[in-house]
Amino acid sequence: MILGLLRRRTARAIAVGLLTAVAVAGCAQAEPTGSDQAASRPPVAATPTFGYRVLASHPHDPGAFTQGLAYVDGTLYEATGSAGVGPSSLRRVDLATGTVQARHDLATEDFGEGIAVVGDRIIQLTWQSQIGYVYDRATFRQLGTFRYPGEGWGLTYDGRQLIMSDGTDRLRFLDPETFVETGSVSVRDAGRPVDQLNELEYIDGQVYANVWQTDRIVRIDPATGQVTAVIDLAGLLPAADRESGQVDVLNGIAYDAAGDRLFVTGKLWPKLYEIELVQ
Same structural domain for residues 60 and 35? no
**CA 158 to mean position of chain CA atoms:** 14
Same structural domain for residues 177 and 74? yes
- Check: CB of residue 63 under 8 Å from CB of residue 268: yes
- Give 157-184 pLDDT, tens digit per residue: 999 999 999 999 999 999 999 999 999 9
Distance CA 137, CA 277 (A): 30
More confident site: 23 or 97: 97
Same structural domain for residues 92 and 23? no
Q: What strands, in cross-sheet order, belong to the sheet with 197-203?
A: 197-203, 206-211, 216-220, 227-232, 49-59, 271-278, 261-266, 250-256
Q: Taking 80 as the threshold, does the pLDDT of residue 16 lie above it?
A: no
Same structural domain for residues 146 and 114? yes
Query: How do strand 170-174 and strand 227-232 relate by DSSP bridges?
Result: unpaired
Same structural domain for residues 208 and 227? yes
Residue range(s) defining the domain that contains residue 262: 49-278
Report the pLDDT averaged over residues 31-47: 57
Q: Which of 246, 251, 265, 258 is nearest to 93 (CA)?
A: 265
Same structural domain for residues 65 and 26? no
User: Distances in Å between the alpha carbon of 6 and those of 2, 15, 89, 218, 232?
Assistant: 6, 14, 96, 74, 79
More confident site: 112 or 34: 112
Same structural domain for residues 36 and 116? no
In one letter, which amino acid is 51? G
Q: For the whole model, what pTM was predicted?
A: 0.84
**Residues of the chain above pLDDT 70, percent:** 84
CATH of the domain at 71: 2.130.10.10
Same structural domain for residues 32 and 79? no
Distance CA 176, CA 57 (A): 33
Distance CA 255, CA 172 (A): 21
Same structural domain for residues 182 and 118? yes
Same structural domain for residues 104 and 29? no
Report the pLDDT averaged over residues 224-253: 93
Q: Taking 70 as the threshold, does the pLDDT of residue 97 lie above it?
A: yes
Same structural domain for residues 54 and 32? no
Instruction: Report CA torsion sign: 78, 218, 53, 74.
Output: negative
Report the pLDDT averaged over residues 3-8: 34
* Number of independent structural domains in the chain: 2
- Give 130-163 pLDDT, tens digit per residue: 999 999 999 999 999 999 999 999 999 999 999 9
Same structural domain for residues 124 and 201? yes
